[in-house]
Amino acid sequence: MRRQVTPEARARVERIARALAGLLDEVPAVGAADEGARPPPGRARAPVCPRCAGEMGTVGAGQGVEIDQCLACGAIWLDVGELEALVAEHAPPPGAPPPTMAELRDRMREVNTPEGLVKYRDCPRCGQVMRRRNFGTISGVVIDECGRPGVLLDPGELQAIEAFVQLGGPALAEQFRREQERRQVPPPPREADSGSEPWVGTVASAADNLWDVLFRGS
């Protein structure tokens, strides 16, 4: 059964509607206040710097890579694959001999900024703790890396990595890895001398000695 609206109730509703009319005109639509802060369609929001929590913005592009850099401390964020694309142009010509390990270390001491207190930082994309990795195994440039999202470079680290690649460091690092793998491979078993007793006889002698100890009390 439909409830009948009395004249008094109708008048009360009209008074409330008139009182709220001015207030509703001043309330912005949901999401309208931050519409300008939203990134354009198809582009992710700029990350927050994991180093100092400052604002990061796109400061340039090269090799098809957009570089996000902290406007406060200068740290650089590169999405996965972008670091390799940036340093590829610094590779030495094919066939160029790599430096010696001593030459590489001396040069990297000149271009690599000494690291201060070690800190593990959160990925600005996924929030997980990033791992620390020595770029190229022997460069001495320790970068913060998160598997799929990308890498964070402290100020000066991009230039140090470029110098490492330009010196031929990756080729020297490959030689270093092969040498380490060769040292870790166990040597082949030594072959028995032709005049020595067969292995079967050796095993049988050991079995006899064990029998004597257990059952004969010798």
Query: Domain segments of the chain: what residues?
Result: 56-183
- Tokens 């100020």 label which residue? 155
- Tokens 């999401």 label which residue? 31
Average pLDDT over residues 14-31: 49
pTM for the model stands at 0.62
What is the pLDDT confidence band of residue 98, given thresholds at 50, 70 and 90?
confident
pLDDT digits (tens, 9 = 90+) for 103-123: 999 999 999 987 778 889 999
Residue in 137, 104, 102, 132 with CA at minimum distance from that of residue 120: 132
Q: How far apart are the C-alpha atoms of 161 and 159, rounded to whole Å?
A: 5
Q: How far apart are the C-alpha atoms of 218 and 212, rounded to whole Å?
A: 6
Handedness of CA 79, 80, 83, 84 (dihedral sign): negative
DSSP label at 36? G
In this model, does residue 202 exceed pLDDT 70? no
